Amino acid sequence: MASELRTQFINFMTMQRFSRYTKKNYLTAVKGLAMFYNQSPETLTNDQIQEYFRHLLEDRKYSWGTCNNYFSGIASFYRNVCKWEETTFKIPPRPRIRKLPVVFSIEEVKRLFAATDNIKHQVLMKTAYSAGLRLGELIRLQPHHIESDPSRMLIRVDQGKGKKDRYTILAKRLLEDLKVYWRKYRPGKWLFAGRKAEKHISAGAVHMAFINAKKKPA
């Protein structure tokens, strides 16, 4: 994608107050399309774009959810940057496959925590479990979100699902674990920092910690 088009797209998303995560995904989607044809995206046709989505689904075996994210980014680019009045490319409807969520028993949860040697990862998972936090909410927690006053005992979640703020309960047992964690790590901006203190822990790092704990024998 030409630098001018990229700048225009970034400026549009900034004015629309898109999150950094959304900006990154949308830019990746348009870049992937341009690289697939080795052409500037503004020169492509609806049919070419449609073929790209077929390629992602059938050849690359991307999930419907991933392709839908690509579609959102590409459609936004053509409608708002290239000013296309009509876009006919689309992706098939979501497959109607429903899977029940995996619910761990209390014993399984305890084993998972016990299998985690790293204090940060252990407290992180305990926080997610105790407070019922989504992954994106968990990794973006900041120390001041923990309202440990006995009259409060709440965790503030900023910009959760639907970009809404909310509160969830801070359990006394979790607070004790957080105090132990605090004394060891002394977190700064982020409650759970990544390798660099100025950045929060990544979703991938949390997922890997969870997978490694699951793999350990009981």
Domains assigned to the chain: 3-80 (1.10.150.130), 106-215 (1.10.443.10)
Binned at pLDDT 50, 70 and 90, residue 61 comes out as: very high
Helix (H, G, I), strand (E, B) or coil at 32: helix
Read off the tokens for 102.
Answer: 């995996």
Residue 24 in tokens:
């990154």
Q: Does residue 101 or residue 65 have the better pLDDT?
A: 65
181-198 pLDDT tens trace: 999 999 999 999 998 889
Residue 68: per-residue pLDDT: 93
Residues near 154 by beta carbon (within 8 Å), at least 6 away in sequence? 147, 167, 168, 169, 170
Give residue 218's pLDDT: 59
Residue 165's pLDDT band, with cuts at 50, 70 and 90, is: confident
Instruction: Give the C-alpha distances (Å, rounded to integers) separating 141 from 70, 146, 157, 184.
Output: 28, 8, 7, 17
- The Cβ of residue 202 has, within 10 Å, a number of other Cβ atoms equal to 12
Mean pLDDT taken over the chain: 90
- Helices 46-54, 64-80: inter-axial angle, 10-degree rounding: 160
Q: Rounded distance, CA 52 to CA 34, Å?
A: 10
Q: Taking residues 123-141, what's their average pLDDT?
A: 93
pTM beyond 0.75, yes or no: no
pLDDT digits (tens, 9 = 90+) for 88-110: 999 888 877 667 667 778 888 88
Strand pairing partners for 200?
A: 193
pLDDT digits (tens, 9 = 90+) for 28-51: 999 999 999 999 999 999 999 999
Q: pLDDT band at 75, cuts 50/70/90?
A: very high
